Amino acid sequence: MMGGRCVSRLACLALLAALCFTSCLGDDFYSYTVKDHQGQDVALEAYRGKVTLVVNVASQCGYTDITYQALKKLHDILSYGDHFSVLAFPCNQFGEQEPLEIAEIVEHVTSEYEVEFPIFNKIDIVGEHADPAFLSLSESSSVVPDWNFYKYLVDGSGQVVSAWGTRTTIEEIFDEIHAEVKKAKAAAAAGKPGSEKAEAAPSPSVDGGKDEL
C-alpha cells in the first residue's frame, strides 16, 4: 500500500514537472512584462503582431554613435504603419559603459540622437540577476551577449528569428529585418496579427563572437 502511494505521488510530481516544463517552453518574448524608463510595468504583449529588434544599449561604448544613429534611421524607416519597433534595454554589465541613471540615459539619447523608439529601464542581461525577458532571447537563440549592442530580431508571434553580435551593422541586416516586417504587414492585412504562439520556434541565424571595442 505504501509502495503504491509512493508511485502515485511520484507520478503526480512527474506530471507537474512536465506541465511546468511545457509551460516554460511555450513562453515567447511577448509573454513577458518589463519596466519602462519610469519604472512602470509594460506588458510586451502590446507588441504581438509586430516585428521588434531588441538591443542591449550603452551610452559610452565605442559602438554607441554609429549604432544609435543606425537604429534611429532603421526605426524611422520601418516603423511607419506600426508594424515594427526597436526596443532598447540599457545595460552596464559590459565594460561599465552604461553608468548613467536611466533619466540621464533617456535625456542623452533623445537629445543627441533624437530617438523615438522605447528606452526601457536598466537591466542585467546575463548572470543570476538577468531580466527574464532578455534571458529568454539568449536562451531561445543560443546567442548569449558578451558585449554591448547585441541585436535580436523577434517576429510577430514573439519568437527570435535571428540574432547578431555587436560588430554586425544595421545596414548588413536591414534586408532581413525588412522581410520580417513585410510578413507582419501581410499577416495583418490577412487578419492574422500573429496573436497565436508559433508551434515551434524557427532556428535563428547566428552571429556571435567577442565584439569588444
Residues catalogued as catalytic = 61
Q: C-alpha cell of 136?
A: 529568454
Q: C-alpha cell of 141?
A: 537563440
Residues 175-200, buried b or exposed e (16+ Cβ, 10 A)?
eebeebbebbbebbeeeebbeebeee
Q: Are 168 and 183 in contact (CB under 8 A)?
A: no
Q: Which of 26, 37, 77, 20 is nearest to 53 (CA)?
A: 77
Q: Which of 120, 128, 131 is nearest to 90 (CA)?
A: 120
